[in-house]
Amino acid sequence: MEDDLAKQWEGLSLTEKEKEEVLLEKNSSEVVDQYGKFCLLVMIIAEKPVNREAFKSTMAKIWKCESWFKFSEVGMNKFLIEFNKEEDLQKVIKGRPWSFDRWLLCLQVFEGNMSINEVVFNKEEFWVHAYNIPLSSMTYEVGTQIGGCIGRVLTVQVDERGIGWGKFLRIRVEVNISEALQRGVFLSYAGKKTWIPFKYERLPTFCFKCGVIKHAKSGCLVSSLGDSKLQYGAWLRAPASKDNEFPHKTYGNADTQEYAEGQSWRKEREVRDDDQKIKTKAAAEIPESCKKDGDNTGSKKATEKLISPRLTTEPIQQAFKVSPYVLNLESRELIP
| Contact residues for 103 (Cβ-Cβ < 8 A; gap 6+) | 44, 45, 46, 50, 204, 205
Same domain, 157 and 215: yes
pLDDT confidence bin for 3, thresholds 50/70/90: low
Q: What is the pTM of this model?
A: 0.67
Judge whether 113 lies within some domain: yes
CB-CB contact of 129 with 199 (8 Å): yes
> 219-237: b or e for each residue (b if 16 or more CB lie within 10 Å)?
eeeeeeeeeeeeebeeebe
Between strands 152-156 and 103-109, the pairing is unpaired
pLDDT of residue 137: 95
Judge whether 178 lies within some domain: yes
Strand partners, 175: 124
CA distance 120 to 232: 25
pLDDT confidence bin for 122, thresholds 50/70/90: very high
Reported as type and span, the H/E element at residue 264 is: helix 264-284
CB-CB contact of 317 with 332 (8 Å): no
CA distance 186 to 184: 7
Judge whether 224 lies within some domain: yes
pLDDT of residue 226: 57
Same domain, 184 and 280: no
Same domain, 259 and 182: no
pLDDT of residue 140: 98
Same domain, 92 and 133: no
CA distance 180 to 163: 30
Q: Number of folded domains in the chain?
A: 4
Judge whether 164 lies within some domain: yes
Half-sphere exposure of 233 (CA within 13 A, CB side): 6
Same domain, 95 and 144: no
Domain boundary among 121, 136, 160: 121
Mean pLDDT taken over the chain: 78
Same domain, 227 and 131: yes
Judge whether 180 lies within some domain: yes
Same domain, 232 and 128: yes
DSSP3 helix / strand / coil % (the chain, rounded to 5): 30, 25, 45
Half-sphere exposure of 108 (CA within 13 A, CB side): 20
Judge whether 5 lies within some domain: no
CA distance 227 to 248: 40
Judge whether 6 lies within some domain: no
User: Mean pLDDT, to the nearest integer, of 141-152?
Assistant: 98
Same domain, 131 and 84: no
The 8 Å CB, 24+ separation contacts for 313-318 are: none
CB-CB contact of 161 with 198 (8 Å): no
CB-CB contact of 188 with 202 (8 Å): no
User: Mean pLDDT, to the nearest integer, of 38-66?
Assistant: 94
pLDDT confidence bin for 309, thresholds 50/70/90: low
CA distance 95 to 62: 11
User: Mean pLDDT, to the nearest integer, of 298-311?
Assistant: 51
Same domain, 230 and 306: no
Same domain, 312 and 276: no
When mean pLDDT is compared over 216-230, 284-298, 300-314, 316-330, the highest value belongs to: 216-230
Same domain, 64 and 107: yes
Q: Which structural domain range is residue 228 located in?
A: 123-238
Percent of the chain past pLDDT 90, that is, above it, reads 51
Judge whether 258 lies within some domain: yes
Same domain, 147 and 214: yes
User: Mean pLDDT, to the nearest integer, of 3-9?
Assistant: 64
Q: Between 233 and 277, name the one with better pLDDT.
A: 233
In a 3-state reduction of DSSP, which class is residue 141? Answer: helix
User: Mean pLDDT, to the nearest integer, of 27-46?
Assistant: 79
In a 3-state reduction of DSSP, which class is residue 267? Answer: helix
Domain boundary among 121, 141, 160: 121
CB-CB contact of 177 with 124 (8 Å): yes
The candidate with the shortest Cα–Cα distance to 206, out of 170, 237, 161, is 237
